[in-house]
Structure formats: C-alpha cells, structure tokens
Amino acid sequence: MFKSIQGEGMLIGVPCFFIRLSGCNLRCRYCDTKYAWNDGEEMSIDSIVKEAIESRARWVTITGGEPLLQLPELDKLVIELKRLGFRVAIETNASVEPSDIVKEMVDLIVASPKLPSFNPDYPGMKLGKIPIDRLWIKFVITDPEKDFHELIKYVPRHVPLDRLSVQPNSYTISYTELVEYVLKHNLPYRVLPQLHKIIGIR
C-alpha cells in the first residue's frame, strides 16, 4: 500500500492511496506487476482502512493482481471505505464479474481487457451492467495494425468512445509511434500516458 498520484486512465494525476491485492487469474507476457501474481501479506480490513485514513487521500484505488478474485472480502473493504467517505476506484482485467456491491458502491471501475497480442488466452469481458459514468475502459496497444481491429470487439455497444483510452505497451511501441498511428489513421481514441513512469515515481 502506498500514496501516489494515479498514473493512467480517467483519474490521471489525481492523488490516491493505492491498495494492491495479490493473486491474478491471468499470466500476461508483458505484465508489469508480476510480483502481484502470488506474493502478498495477509492483513485485516481494519488495518488496511487505518492506513488509508492516515494517508489523508480522498481517493482509494484498489488494484492488483486481480482484485475481484478477493470477493467477498473485497465487498467488506469497499463498504467500510465508503462508510468513511472515501471515493473508491477498482482496477480490473474485466474477466471476473464484479459483485452487486462493487457495481453499486464503487465510484469508478477501470477495466483493462487484454487484446490477443497482449494475452491470447484472455477469456473475455464479464463486467455485467455498470453505469457509464462509473466505467472507464483502458487498452494497452502492443501491435497497432492488429489491435485496433480487435479493440472494437471488446467495447460494449452502450459505451461511448469518450469513456476509453489507449496506451502503448512500452516493450513493443513508443508513445510517439502510437500517437503517429492514431493520427495517420484518423482513429477516434484518446491516447494517455503512464504518467507515473514518465516522471519516475511509484
């Protein structure tokens, strides 16, 4: 757990207290948090919430790994954080359907479905019904020629394009290359960086 700014997506630049839960149902080749697949320390909800309070952040971001694997305990954590007045975001690979509590109480669900070039074994999105104003979809682009053809298959029809963003897989493509591709092909997608990596913070 740590306090920093949100480095990507809709809340980019916003100070947050991050709670990283361990365990993931995917094994993505380019994952930048592989240490969260298995490692972790068991903590009580009370101790987690205590650190969130001490951080004095208004937003709490629950990330992973895949946080939704820790249901129903995750529900209890969300309920307590909301009771205390925190705004809560959850980052998910979208392959595990959120609980009703998560759908109803979390302020922002950041879904990051994996395109075939990033993980060919991705089982598909299972988000269920989430209000548009509480959903953000983020795609990591590994191979623009392939990925932009695949991307549209993952976007639910009711989700407008201003609720999603794309960012480069830094192992295969630069920000400049991605921006040039989007502009050249007149694509309607917002390109956002990973700000925390650019400025060199956690």
Taking the alpha carbons of 126, 119, 115, 194 in that order, is the dihedral positive or negative?
A: positive
DSSP assignment of 74-124 equals HHHHHHHHHHTT-EEEEEE-S-SPPPHHHHHH-SEEEE-PPPTTT-TT---
- The answer on whether 128 is annotated among ligand-binding residues is no
- The answer on whether 75 is annotated among ligand-binding residues is no
- The answer on whether 114 is annotated among ligand-binding residues is yes
- The answer on whether 144 is annotated among ligand-binding residues is no
- The answer on whether 122 is annotated among ligand-binding residues is no
- The answer on whether 40 is annotated among ligand-binding residues is no
DSSP assignment of 29-84 equals TT-S-GGGTT------HHHHHHHHHHHT-SEEEEESS-GGGGTTHHHHHHHHHHHT
- The answer on whether 16 is annotated among ligand-binding residues is no
- The answer on whether 82 is annotated among ligand-binding residues is no
- The answer on whether 184 is annotated among ligand-binding residues is no
- The answer on whether 46 is annotated among ligand-binding residues is no
Task: Identify whether the C-beta of residue 37 lies closer than 8 Å to the C-beta of residue 23.
Answer: yes
- The answer on whether 28 is annotated among ligand-binding residues is yes
- The answer on whether 30 is annotated among ligand-binding residues is yes
Q: Which residues are annotated as a binding site for [4Fe-4S] cluster?
A: 24, 28, 31
Q: Which residues are annotated as a binding site for substrate?
A: 5-7, 20, 63
Q: Which residues are annotated as a binding site for Mg(2+)?
A: 33
Q: Which residues are annotated as a binding site?
A: 5-7, 20, 24, 28, 30-33, 63, 65, 112-114
Q: Which residues are annotated as a binding site for S-adenosyl-L-methionine?
A: 30-32, 65, 112-114
